[in-house]
Amino acid sequence: MSTPVLTLENVTKRYGDFTAVDQINLSIPQGSVYGFLGPNGAGKTTTIRMILDIIRPDTGHIDVLGHRSAMDVRHRIGYLPEEKGLYKKMKVWAIISYFATLKGMSRSAARHKAFELLERYGLKDFAESSIESLSKGMGQKVQVLASIAHEPELVILDEPFSGLDPVNQEVLEQLIKDLSANGQTVIFSTHIMQHAERLCQRLLLITQGRKVFDGTVSEAHAIIPRRVVLETRGDIHSVRQLDGVLSVQEQPPEDGSTRANGIRQWELYVKEQADPQQILQHCFENGVSLSRFDFTQASLHDVFVHLVGKEAREHNFR
């Protein structure tokens, strides 16, 4: 196993009586796409700032690229902060080139890289435009490119999808995939689960400063049993007895009304190895007439709500 790019050991940060980050332990392997997930105010940005040595933890240890301080290896790290901002009068290509030179690239190499990135990610026609002339979403794309132009080994993006329209979100997702394919390690924070579900190999779920899950996407999905929904007027007693069925619960209509024609809806939780098609076949063979048959796997949002309960619903989280 390769040496982790980043490790956190019992990291805690307090502000007076408020604990922003509480005893976080974490090990991130090289080359992975790792999501920091949780509602607003969960402690994601505080954790990232401690990783970058912008603020210091009260207790615990952090190791970044084999060093105790990210400042020692800052040229090997790319960082997009949560608070976005660029020099408004500079040209698009120049701002990307400038940030690359700050991280050790020569001026000629930085200029070449800036134009290469602008062409690859759909901003070539705006290379000579000033930052102030760009839309908010385009400006954010430029800042992302500025953070990765020096080809860092570790890329940390704090809420990179915030404020982007769906088209530009797709562009950013592709950029993250490209970084991963190039062997770079990417950490990004978000409170929008769909991005993590599509991009990440591993996840940290955090709420109120506490880690509630750390593992792969498939491990997260496995926390909640898979679900089959049946609608029928028939007797499902035999379905309850099937080996792969863990539990059965009737679901009332959401509006509190009575379903027409005596149809009832049942929610079945099934074992990970259970084949939903066998349940469907059993219904056909045993005369259980169905008006609906759905099979779903828990989303990351479902998993998060399951792990933290009411807390997740009380935050701005989707």
Q: Output 187 or 224, whichever has higher pLDDT.
A: 187
**In a shared domain, residues 270 and 215:** no
Taking 90 as the threshold, does the pLDDT of residue 38 lie above it?
no
Instruction: Choose one of 184, 202, 221: the last residue of a domain.
Output: 221
**In a shared domain, residues 187 and 105:** yes
Dump strand ranges (E) for 81-153: none
**In a shared domain, residues 119 and 84:** yes
Give the burial class of 57: count Cβ atoms within 10 A of its Cβ; 0-12 exposed, 13-18 middle, 19 or more buried. Answer: buried
296-307 average pLDDT score: 80
Cβ atoms within 10 Å, residue 318: 9
192-197 average pLDDT score: 85
The tokens describing 15, both together, are 């502000």
Chain-centre distance of CA 273, in angstroms? 26
pLDDT of residue 318: 40
Q: Are the C-beta atoms of residues 59 and 10 closer than 8 Å to each other? A: yes
CATH number of residue 181's parent domain: 3.40.50.300
The tokens describing 268, both together, are 């079945």
For residues 129, 130, 136, 138, the Cα torsion angle rounded to the nearest 10 degrees is 30
HSE-up (13 A, CA, CB side) for residue 103: 23
pLDDT of residue 272: 77
**In a shared domain, residues 78 and 208:** yes
Asked whether residue 309 is assigned to any structural domain, the reply reads no
**In a shared domain, residues 114 and 170:** yes
**In a shared domain, residues 196 and 247:** no
Asked whether residue 23 is assigned to any structural domain, the reply reads yes
Q: Which of the residue ranges 99-108, 124-133, 210-219, 309-318 would you say has the lowest mean pLDDT?
A: 309-318
**In a shared domain, residues 113 and 241:** no
CATH number of residue 292's parent domain: 3.30.70.1340
**In a shared domain, residues 84 and 125:** yes
Asked whether residue 247 is assigned to any structural domain, the reply reads yes
Taking 70 as the threshold, does the pLDDT of residue 139 lie above it?
yes
Asked whether residue 303 is assigned to any structural domain, the reply reads no
**In a shared domain, residues 61 and 154:** yes
**In a shared domain, residues 144 and 270:** no
Q: Are the C-beta atoms of residues 164 and 140 closer than 8 Å to each other? A: yes
- Rounded CA separation 304/314 (Å): 13
For residues 79, 82, 86, 91, the Cα torsion angle rounded to the nearest 10 degrees is 70
Quote the number of domains for the chain.
Answer: 2
Taking 80 as the threshold, does the pLDDT of residue 313 lie above it?
no
Taking 70 as the threshold, does the pLDDT of residue 150 lie above it?
yes
What would the pLDDT profile of 65-95 be if each residue is shown by its tens digit? 999 999 999 999 999 998 877 888 999 999 9
Mean pLDDT value across the chain: 89
Instruction: Choose one of 172, 200, 221: the last residue of a domain.
Output: 221
Q: Output 179 or 227, whichever has higher pLDDT.
A: 179
Residue 239: phi and psi, rounded to 5, are: -65, -40
The tokens describing 83, both together, are 């608070």
Asked whether residue 243 is assigned to any structural domain, the reply reads yes
pLDDT of residue 18: 94
| 3-state helix/strand/coil string of 300-315 | HHHHHHHHHCHHHHCC
Asked whether residue 302 is assigned to any structural domain, the reply reads no
Q: Which residues of 201-217 are buried (b: 16+ CB within 10 A; e: fewer)?
A: ebbbbbbbbbbbbbeeb
Taking 90 as the threshold, does the pLDDT of residue 273 lie above it?
no
What whole-number percentage of the chain has pLDDT above 90?
A: 58
Q: Are the C-beta atoms of residues 229 and 280 closer than 8 Å to each other? A: no
**In a shared domain, residues 142 and 254:** no
Q: Are the C-beta atoms of residues 142 and 133 closer than 8 Å to each other? A: no
Confidence of residue 317 (pLDDT cuts 50, 70, 90): very low
Confidence of residue 304 (pLDDT cuts 50, 70, 90): confident
Q: Output 287 or 115, whichever has higher pLDDT.
A: 115
pLDDT of residue 70: 95
What would the pLDDT profile of 237-250 be if each residue is shown by its tens digit? 999 999 889 888 88
pLDDT of residue 315: 46
Whole-model pTM: value is 0.81
**In a shared domain, residues 195 and 100:** yes
Asked whether residue 53 is assigned to any structural domain, the reply reads yes
**Domain coverage including residue 142:** 6-221
Q: Are the C-beta atoms of residues 282 and 242 closer than 8 Å to each other? A: yes
Asked whether residue 280 is assigned to any structural domain, the reply reads yes
